[in-house]
Amino acid sequence: MATFRKLPSGRFQARVSLKGLRPLYSTFTTKTKARQWASSVEADTALARSLCVGDDLTLDQAVQVDTNTGSLRCIVPSFGEFVDDFLADTQIADKSMIGRVYFWKKKFNDKLVINVTAEEIDDALLQIDRATSGSNANRYKSNLSSVFIAFNRHPSYKRLKFPNPVRSEFVSSFRENSPKTRFLSPTEQRTLLKTSKESHWDKLYLLVLMALTTGARRGELLKLTWDDLELTTKVAYLRTTKNSEPRLLPLLTPVIHELGRFTGGSDHLIFPSTTCPLRPFDFKKAWHRVLKDAGISNLRFHDLRHTAASNMVGANRTLFETGVLLGHKQASTTMRYAHLAHQHTSKMAADVWSEIHED
């Protein structure tokens, strides 16, 4: 319940009484501002508690904020505390981000969020760059920026208008390494598929075949359940992807035939672990054995995705069509395959020229 009174100075004092908390007071130049402040406190239990215990905090923890509705006091969490809340409340598609965020938590754990400086961030990034690579340092930088963005959007902290220190001119950006792109030749693809059929893991051939024909990522394929397959329309439904958007995968006839060799419950993984059906099969040993038997070197499973794109471009499909198959959100991501389309673009230019300039 809120009450208001006019002070001898002409200002207006607001008094808010909430159950279980001591009364809260604040003064304003007008009664309208006093009412607005009281309404915001009554509607925000967390804010009310913060205001009540503010006098017991250090000056760093209790920050006074001037707003258009008056002066408010806000508790600033430690960086470690906020990171824990951030990870608990955020859906993270790229699980590798979690490790990088924990790195920053260890670095700034006891510091208040608003006391993390651009200079400290830059020093840490420079060490990462020297120890690993510029592209890796940029990922650490981007993930840390996401934490501060979430802080500035938080209902309890957005009033602080805290400038994201990662975006400071004092924080370095790093040169990205050229992407390592490996394509399998048609002969290597046939050899890999043939050798996969002979693997001790009876589903490796199916996994490799799906990777080459759909361009899906390893994690996307391993998360597929039998319920995600629509065999009548020949598609598989990816519920979660790296881009956090669902996507349909085409199921070619050879894939459907191979799927027919296996069965499983509707909610069961297609590639389950033999020890824990809720987890995907760890095929690392089978994969390396097949590569050795096939005589193929320097190949990651992710390179099958690049090979699927190469097959698309080699079949004169456009970069847009290739990007749709791979699930790219931005055309710039697909441009890494542009050099493969030179024959198609040359023929296209020649056809257009011949039509305009007929002899």
**pLDDT, tens digit (0-9, with 9 covering 90-100), for 233-253:** 999 998 876 666 788 899 999
Dist CA 151 CA 148 (whole Å): 5
Average pLDDT score over residue span 50-63: 50
* Confidence check: pLDDT of 344 > 70: no
20: left (phi over 0), alpha (psi -120 to 50) or beta: left
Q: How far is CA 230 from CA 9, 12, 212, in A?
A: 75, 67, 19
Residue 282, both tokens: 């760890």
Please tell me which residue, 359 or 318, carries the higher pLDDT value: 318
Domains of the chain, start order: 2-75 (no CATH), 79-167 (1.10.150), 186-350 (1.10.443.10)
Exposure letters 106-133 (e unless 16+ CB within 10 A, then b): ebbeeebbbebebeebbebbeebbeeee
* Confidence check: pLDDT of 301 > 90: yes
* 267-278 pLDDT, tens digit each: 799 999 988 888
**Contact yes or no for 162/113 (Cβ under 8 A):** yes
- Strand, coil or helix: what is 120? helix
Give me the phi and psi of 350, to 5 degrees please: -65, -40
DSSP 239: S
pLDDT-based confidence at residue 56 (cuts at 50, 70, 90): very low
Q: What mean pLDDT, rounded, does the chain reach?
A: 83
* Confidence check: pLDDT of 293 > 90: yes
Lowest mean pLDDT among 14-18, 98-102, 204-208: 14-18
pLDDT-based confidence at residue 24 (cuts at 50, 70, 90): confident
Determine which helix (DSSP H) or strand (DSSP E) holds 84, and give its type and residue range.
Answer: helix 79-89
What pLDDT is recorded for position 20?
A: 61
What pLDDT is recorded for position 55?
A: 44
* Confidence check: pLDDT of 296 > 60: yes
DSSP 272: B
Lowest mean pLDDT among 14-28, 35-49, 252-266: 35-49
**Contact yes or no for 225/272 (Cβ under 8 A):** no
What pLDDT is recorded for position 176?
A: 79
Determine which helix (DSSP H) or strand (DSSP E) holds 98, and give its type and residue range.
Answer: helix 96-108
* Confidence check: pLDDT of 48 > 90: no
Average pLDDT score over residue span 88-110: 90
Q: Which of 26-40, 154-168, 297-311 shows the highest mean pLDDT?
A: 297-311
Dist CA 13 CA 48 (whole Å): 17
Determine which helix (DSSP H) or strand (DSSP E) holds 144, and give its type and residue range.
Answer: helix 134-153
What pLDDT is recorded for position 346?
A: 63
The DSSP result for 156-168, as a single string, is TTGGG----GGGS
* Confidence check: pLDDT of 355 > 90: no
State the pTM of this model. Answer: 0.55
Lowest mean pLDDT among 135-149, 150-164, 175-189, 343-357: 343-357
Q: Which residue has the tokens 């060490």?
A: 127
